[in-house]
Structure 1
């Protein structure tokens, strides 16, 4: 296969992964809207049960809050690298990640509004809902930062999030240096996001949210594979074991 054909194939894979994630986001948004409409209509029927709303300290609410924060940084990094490279593959990947995760973030915050729950839980540490799941007997083994606890540092609130120092390094980089750093940081970010989404798939009780979490796992794993290939083309590799 020629270099041109390989590049075209890689671009198709990236577009497919991101396009699938966007399609899933739109599908879940539509399902949530229909469910909300049904719940609203149920008010006119005395026999219909009231819709179940997750508690403020539930896995459903915790995942929605934490993943919204996690996604926001991915959007920020993607906009940063867009202006620091002319490479079309990296710019396209960054656009797709920003578009997908901004859409998903809007859904997560929308659910919190629908549930009339705060978007920030006062006095509750990030990822506390995953620790609670472990203490409740759920198997959370193998999820970075969950066994010994994750210590927020330098602006990195959850596993996989870049620090303030790393974001400044990305802002100061250009060309291939920016591409490599972005791909490495986003690889760490996706690893942390996949682990969190798996936690929701196991612990969350709202079905549409569980389906969204599973879709995040599939979409981000596809992007992880694509980013590994893009790093290899630049003579680089993901940072080994770097999630925290």
Structure 2
């Protein structure tokens, strides 16, 4: 008997996150040095940009991976599927790294603090499922699940463009405010990658006769 698709997707996400956590543990002596035993350097505080970014971006990435899994099953277009696979692999791995750092820093992976408080302003999660700027609503995700072919491709590219823009803004803020090399370097790389992918998605939308 085949397992329900939701269980397959959930299992795949768990596996990818686990891979990211393993990678963090493998490189722990160097990449996690701020909190390594005997290093003499304190772990980032609960209210720091490092902890806030790692926690918030983990949630942001989780939805990007979810949307990528959805479109992977809604189209046969190789370019879109390849792009979706790249998001799944890259962002699930990054999410695993950030959750691993929170573990190493002995900081909780969830918090009652408002999202984006570390940026100097807060965002109140909405009842429509949008937990942070750029994140798709429940209704938008349902539309993506119901779409097929070109319609699914266009909707995915539009939703992911908005998602990436907000993610790039968060990454830019973290790159400038973080106190650890881990977050500064990761956020800088995220910003560059997501800006590049925004341009790529604009070209993909244009090729499908759609506007961003």
TM-score over 0.5 for the alignment?
Answer: yes
| Cα distance in structure 1, aligned partners of 2:74 and 2:31 | 42
The TM-score, its normalising length taken from structure 2, stands at 0.83
Which structure would you say has the larger RCO, counting Cα contacts within 8 Å and 6 or more residues apart?
1
Quote how far apart the aligned CAs of 1:74 are. Answer: 0.3
Quote how far apart the aligned CAs of 1:54 are. Answer: 0.6
Which has the greater radius of gyration?
1
Classify 1:91/1:73 alpha carbon distance in 2 versus 1 (closer, same or farther; 3 Å). Answer: same
Partner residue, 2:50: 60
| Pick aligned residue for 2:81 from 81, 87, 91 | 91
Structure 2's unaligned 5+ residue stretches are 1-19
Contact 2:35–2:43, Cα closer than 8 Å, also in 1: no
Equivalent pairs, count: 190
| Pick aligned residue for 1:34 from 30, 49, 60 | 30
| Cα distance in structure 2, aligned partners of 1:39 and 1:185 | 37
Give me the CA root mean square deviation: 2.2
| Cα distance in structure 2, aligned partners of 1:36 and 1:197 | 19
Pairing 1:69–2:59 present: yes
Quote how far apart the aligned CAs of 1:129 are. Answer: 0.6
Partner residue, 1:130: 119
Partner of 1:50, secondary structure, is coil
Contact 2:68–2:88, Cα closer than 8 Å, also in 1: yes
Contact 1:63–1:196, Cα closer than 8 Å, also in 2: yes
Classify 1:207/1:32 alpha carbon distance in 2 versus 1 (closer, same or farther; 3 Å). Answer: farther
The TM-score, its normalising length taken from structure 1, stands at 0.73
Structure 1's unaligned 5+ residue stretches are 1-24, 44-48, 132-145, 239-244
Pairing 1:179–2:120 present: no
More moved, 30-39 vs 171-180: 30-39
Contact 2:32–2:182, Cα closer than 8 Å, also in 1: no
Classify 1:211/1:88 alpha carbon distance in 2 versus 1 (closer, same or farther; 3 Å). Answer: same
Classify 1:217/1:36 alpha carbon distance in 2 versus 1 (closer, same or farther; 3 Å). Answer: closer
Contact 2:52–2:116, Cα closer than 8 Å, also in 1: yes
Contact 2:49–2:177, Cα closer than 8 Å, also in 1: yes
Contact 1:63–1:200, Cα closer than 8 Å, also in 2: yes
